[in-house]
């Protein structure tokens, strides 16, 4: 989505592909760029992608039908399988060498492979907290994010577990906000979540992006960010999404773009993963 200027007037320009053709939509802004341009961009995005959001609703509808017919014992097994896959992939993206098979052995049979004790401990704790956060919804707060972080890293990274960073961090070429600004940015993010009227899948993608840009912890931001993403999806009645290790390159590339670009990437990815639920 771009802002263009024609004859001293500004427009939003957005291109979408439909049936193999590129369709361009424009929205008039006036002779000045409005102060609430970010909100206008979000609304325009939903306006031109109406069919896309209808598919998301179909996914929720069919998922809820499937889930309501699933026996409790089968639900428990399914969530355990999701927990294994999510824990493996989210840790692997961050550099863990524990394989999917080893993750399953650790979580189901308490088997410790010949791998880093820290990696093994984080695997156990991540899976446990992931299953716990699905059981009960609590309003998203700084305290809740700190709790998740502490429970995952208290054994492996005790010095940074459950505390916001007090130092500068760099991720590749990206320099995260100054440590003095973390609380302010998190407060803005939490207020946005609380007041948001946007679609839950869009919200999950946007807030994952925003959280990663704030990068409030010394380590574990990706894992907490992907936990937050699925927390929003699950407690709004939508099936979750696992960012797989094999898609790490495209995922990281999308995170280097602007928020709207990442949101586009995330929703398209979500539709692809849950394609069978809307076709």
User: So which residues are the catalytic ones?
Assistant: 215
Give the whole-angstrom CA distance, residue 9 versus residue 60. Answer: 40
CA 147 – CA 217 distance, rounded (Å): 12
Max Cα separation, the chain?
A: 69
Which residue, 95, 4, 85, 18, is CA-closest to 51? Answer: 18
- Backbone torsion region of residue 8, taken as left when φ is above 0, otherwise alpha when ψ lies between -120 and 50, otherwise beta: left
Cα gap 223→85, rounded to integer Å:
13
User: Residue 3 is encoded by which pair of tokens?
Assistant: 């802002």
Residue 27: in which H helix or E strand, if any?
strand 21-30
Q: What is the DSSP letter of 49?
A: T
């Amino acid at each position: 989505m771009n802002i263009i200027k024609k004859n001293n007037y500004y427009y939003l320009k957005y291109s979408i592909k439909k049936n193999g053709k590129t369709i361009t939509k424009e929205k008039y802004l006036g002779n000045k760029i409005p102060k609430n341009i970010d909100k206008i961009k979000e609304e325009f995005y939903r306006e031109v992608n109406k069919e896309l959001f209808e598919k998301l609703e179909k996914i929720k509808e069919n998922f809820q039908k499937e889930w309501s017919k699933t026996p409790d014992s089968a639900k428990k097994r399914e969530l355990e399988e999701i927990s294994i896959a999510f824990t493996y992939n989210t840790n692997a993206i961050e550099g863990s060498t524990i394989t999917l098979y080893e993750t399953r052995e650790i979580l189901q049979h308490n088997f410790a492979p010949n791998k880093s004790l820290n990696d093994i401990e984080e695997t156990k704790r991540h899976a446990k907290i992931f299953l716990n956060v699905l059981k009960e919804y609590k309003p998203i707060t700084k305290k809740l994010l700190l709790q998740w972080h502490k429970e995952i890293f208290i054994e492996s990274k005790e010095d940074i577990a459950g505390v916001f960073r007090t130092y500068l961090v760099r991720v590749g070429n990206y320099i995260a906000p100054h440590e003095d600004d973390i609380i302010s940015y998190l407060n803005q993010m939490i207020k946005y979540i609380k007041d948001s009227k946007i679609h839950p899948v869009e919200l999950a993608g946007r807030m994952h992006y925003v959280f990663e840009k704030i990068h409030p912890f010394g380590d574990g931001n990706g894992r907490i960010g992907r936990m937050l993403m699925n927390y929003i999806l699950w407690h709004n009645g939508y099936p979750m999404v696992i960012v797989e290790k094999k898609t790490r390159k495209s995922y990281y590339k999308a995170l280097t773009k602007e928020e709207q670009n990442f949101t586009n990437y995330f929703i398209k990815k979500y539709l692809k993963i849950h394609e069978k639920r809307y076709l």
